[in-house]
Amino acid sequence: MDDKHLDVKVHYLAGAPELEQFDYGGCVDLYNYEDVDMRAGDWQLVNLGVSMQLPDGYDALLLPRSSTFKRYGLLLANSVGYIDNSYAGDEDVWMASVYATRDVHIDKGTRCFQFRIIPTQPKLSFTPVDRLKPKRRGGFGSTDE
């Protein structure tokens, strides 16, 4: 195994499509394990049909695919899903928490979500100080430039 390859152990629910990483794009697509039927304003957990044991030192970000909102009107209810390394048992099935902005039906096996492996947050310490850098950057979400 080279330093750019990680082995992820995957437990598939019966009939779930196997995951595949393509040479393009930075994420791996996930498939809806069941048909999804939602009305506008509904919230639901969408079963993705897999449990995973991520490599030590790594967690995962669960994201919608770029076409998910346009095609289906779904929003990931918490904007991004974070799956930590300890969520690793056979019954720790990955789910997407979604909110429907319109009535929608999505067939089982549709690729609506994706994930990306990221390094686990290192241990942090917090040091109280009297002052930080003297320059104020300015604004909230703006550098005032």
What amino acid positions are annotated as catalytic residues?
84
Cβ atoms 105, 36 nearer than 8 A: yes
Q: How many CB atoms lie within 10 A of CB 94?
A: 21
Here the tokens at position 98 are: 């979604």
- Classify strands 28-31 and 111-119 as parallel, antiparallel or unpaired: antiparallel
DSSP 114-137: EEEEEEPPPP------S---S---
